[in-house]
A and B are shown apart, each in its own frame.
Chain A
Amino acid sequence: MVVDFLHSHKAQLKVNRELYGEKVIHKCLYWWAARLSVDFDKDDTSFVITLSDPTESLNLKDVIASMKRDLIDFRTREIITDETKHIRAMLIAKAFANDDAFDENPPGGISDPTGFDPVKP
């Protein structure tokens, strides 16, 4: 992420489109849009994000530092989600399958060392 300019109430950032997808940027900005006015555009190589805080209630330098961290987190989430979507679909399909499609006894069992038994009052 490159900071194009940083004023007390306005900043512009460029994010390399080869490193981050548009979905990741949207997910990240979703959480910031409540506190800042956010504009989003793209040029040939980058996403261009303009942040404005007319009341200057936030320190934009800190916001940018947190946003960098959030971008990495959302990129990580995207990798995990993409790589695991089939196994997740399989897991949920097996979990909710009707008895005939789920007739083998799974290995292992469920126990709980805290002693919590939901059947007991």
Chain B
Amino acid sequence: MELPIAKDFRKFKGPEFYEAEFSEYFLLPFKFHRINDEKEVLVNEVGDFLIVPIGTARRIASRDIQKDELLYEDLFANSFISNKPIPDLIDVLATRYRTKKSFLDDFTALHIFVVSLRCNHSCHYCQVSRVSENRQEFDISIEDLTSGIEHMFRSPSPSITMEFQGGEPLLAFDRVKFGVEYALKLNETFKKDITFVVCTNATVFTDEILEFCKEHQIIISTSLDGPEFLHNANRPKSGAKSYQMVIDGINRARNQLGEDQVSALMTTTSLSLEYPIEIIDNYIENGFSNIFLRPISPYGFALKNSKKNRYHTEKYLEFYKKGLKYIIELNKQGVFFVEDYTTIILKKILTPFPVSYVDLQSPAGMINNVVVFNYDGYVYATDESRMLAEQGDFTFRLGHVKDNYRSIFYGEKARFLSQYWSNESLAGCADCGLQSYCGADPVFHYAAQGDFEGYRPTSDFCIKNMEIIRHIFDLLDSDGKALMPIFNSWINNRPRYQ
């Protein structure tokens, strides 16, 4: 019998435990999913897994596992079966389950403030209907910004992130400045742990802006789509070359704020799909040690410009796998470089802790972990919800900043959405073996399929996540020994040999 592959932090019992006479065993809750032609993965209620030959789940359910099989011990040790109807370790399992869901304890942490819709770029895939640079009426009012910040401090979370978005938020720098200063003033009373982030195209930095960012340790999150030809094609800017401007901006920000205060996000377009290797090389050339190979989302301009952007999920998956393979090869050669989406999933698979990534949580990240204060004072459940609102669809509008906290965060709309935000209770997901590592995204399914619950067999969210998680298990099965040190270094964000 082949030894199964499992997460290895379980505490094993001594031999006497297994020598006991068991006439039968009891099942504990678990699910399973085929990962290739020979293997399936068994996943228990707290996310522990075993990679085993296909048919093992059926054998377990039909009480066909013999106690002299090695598998029998593994199933016991990993809480897939028990020798008692209620296992001795029920409280440990409950603690583990609670830990996995502990992202719910503190409620909303990420507060996004869309301080302006103005932008100096006109990216064809822009997920926000931006307006031209000189239209100040699309900046958030000081009054609404003040009310939004006051709501942010009503969150029970001891750690909060205040993220400024646009448009290009730095075109409304006065709002960013006011926001940071007012938040810090209130924090003298509330004493929360605050992180400030500005999502910017890095083309409008001034000395004043960078000095302010330095003084308040503001993290710069910018956009870099890869090599010059690709970035410029994706992000047209009238009368200038965006690529050179963003690289200059990144370098300027790094010099003034420090390397680790500047991060970059790429957006995948149909053009990018042809160039995974070039994009990764470009990130390395520009001094980054990570990349997020993310797909374009079905919102805002992205939906309207279907010719350029509605590429097939299959093509994205090819792009992702080709990119991941290349990144793994680089790591095997000693280059420390991380793929972020894989790392999020690996943390869910290989560690007992929750991962704060709002697009892959159950219950979903909307409201529970993120909320958006839009430039016009309205509050939305997620960033994508306000992008739908820019197209005239206000389904995910929770209220106005002037409304009271309870009605926004616990109101009728929030309660309605909560019916669709747990994958444990969604058709298709409820039986899925990958449920513990995946999430629920009612906004995506509403936008893409016109249905909050969504239909999994044609859902790009499901097709993408099911294949990526399956692929990661397939890699662990085929090359686990070589890959585990690399994957652990990604989880810990530390090069292997340090």
Chain A residues in the interface with B (C-beta under 8 A): 27, 30-35, 72-74, 76-77, 79-81, 83-85, 87-88, 90-92, 94-96, 102, 104, 106-108, 110-116, 118
Contact = CB atoms under 8 A, between A and B. Distances in A.
B157 to A, nearest CB: 15
Contacts of B91: 94, 104, 106-107
B9 A111 contact: yes
A112 B9 CA distance: 6
B333 interface: no
B92 A34 contact: no
B58 A94 contact: no
A30 B11 contact: no
Given A30-B427, A80-B57, A112-B352, A94 B90 contact: yes
A90 B9 CA distance: 24
Given A31-B428, A107-B92, A76 B101 contact: no
Contact of B29 (A27, A91, A94, A96): A91
Contacts of A113: 8-9
Contacts of A96: 98, 101
A106 B427 CA distance: 34
Contacts of B57: 73, 76, 80
B457 interface: yes
Interface string B442-466: 0000000000000111100000000
B306 to A, nearest CB: 21
A77 B431 contact: yes
A118 B90 contact: no
Given A108-B89, A110-B95, A30 B488 contact: no
Nearest to A83: B27
Contacts of A106: 91-92, 94-95
Contacts of A112: 9, 351-353
Contacts of A90: 86, 90
Nearest to B86: A87
Contact of B96 (A72, A84, A110, A118): A110
Contact of B98 (A33, A74, A84, A95): A95
A95 B488 contact: no
Nearest to B432: A77
B275 interface: no
B351 A91 contact: no
Nearest to A93: B94
Contacts of A73: 32, 57-58
Given A87-B85, A107-B92, A114-B351, 9 more contacts: A73-B32, A83-B61, A84-B30, A87-B28, A91-B93, A113-B9, A114-B350, A116-B347, A116-B350
